[in-house]
Amino acid sequence: MQTSQLLALIQARRTCYQFRSQETHVLTDLEIKKCLEAAIWAPNHKLTQPWRFWVLGKNKQQTLAVVYADNRASKKADCGSSAYQSLYTKAVEKFMAIPQIILVGQILTQDEFTAKEDYAACACAIQNFQLMAWQQSIGVQWSTGPILTDVRSYEVLDIESEKITLIAALYMGKVDTENRMNQLSQNPKRKSIDEVTVYLD
Ligand SMILES: Cc1cc2nc3c(=O)[nH]c(=O)nc-3n(C[C@H](O)[C@H](O)[C@H](O)COP(=O)(O)O)c2cc1C
């Protein structure tokens, strides 16, 4: 791969909020596996390999939709009110329309410094994941929304919050070409290299 191609991939990747229909544009197990393969080759100090992934099937997604919808609706309306019910229903629909969800957790450690390094390693893994996804016309939104801290999510995944902390919900799906072009044209601005770099002698 040429350096220009690598840079083009890195620059083209965008956080995606809309995906092609999951009925017509299925993500294959192989595509997902390639993303995970890229993820686990991320740098990680002392080879702690602190990342864990949960690839949700539709049953688990439905169970988690309850947690997602309750968090969204209860932020804006009183539980049990008609406003709550309406927000809740819309949120379930929105969540279930996401073609594929993968949750990422970080193995916890007592040592504060290692924990910081492990979070950094997980972030590297997620970026590797996102780049491999983009290369396969799969868009990803890295979400750090309330489902990550809700105790019910830990119950759904059957994990202990003392041992693992959820750090990302990766919402993913195929990105259509037009949409992809729109996203490219809305390329979020980055500061120039000169604004963020000091060259020393
Ligand atoms: C640690 C982290 C947390 C993020 N959490 C969210 C989130 O909760 N919701 C969201 O829409 N995007 C989230 N993002 C994505 C950023 O908003 C996005 O990367 C940023 O707007 C730049 O856009 P780009 O990814 O298209 O370059 C997160 C990104 C990172 C690195």
pLDDT in tens, 14-43: 999 999 998 999 999 999 999 999 999 999
Contacting residues for 106 by C-beta, under 8 A, at least 6 apart: 50, 51, 52, 115, 118, 119, 122, 164, 165, 167
How far apart CA 11 and CA 173 sit, in angstroms, is 19
> What does R_g of the chain's alpha carbons equal in angstroms?
19
Mean pLDDT of 115-130: 98
Task: Report yes or no: 141 and 19 within 8 Å, Cβ to Cβ.
Answer: no
Cα of 136 from ligand 1 centre, angstroms: 20
pTM above 0.85, yes or no: yes
Which ligand 1 atom lies nearest to the CA of residue 16? 26
For the chain, list the domains and their CATH numbers.
16-180 (3.40.109.10)
* Nearest alpha carbon, ligand 1 atom 11: 143
Cα of 80 from ligand 1 centre, angstroms: 32
| Per-residue pLDDT at 176 | 73
* Nearest alpha carbon, ligand 1 atom 21: 15
How far apart CA 122 and CA 105 sit, in angstroms, is 8
Q: Does the structure show a pLDDT above 60 at 47?
A: yes
Task: Report yes or no: 15 and 172 within 8 Å, Cβ to Cβ.
Answer: no
Q: Is the CB of 57 under 6 A from ligand 1?
A: no
Q: Is the CB of 183 under 6 A from ligand 1?
A: no
Q: Is the CB of 187 under 6 A from ligand 1?
A: no
Dihedral sign from CA coordinates of 112, 113, 116, 118:
negative
| Per-residue pLDDT at 146 | 97
Which ligand 1 atom lies nearest to the CA of residue 183? 26
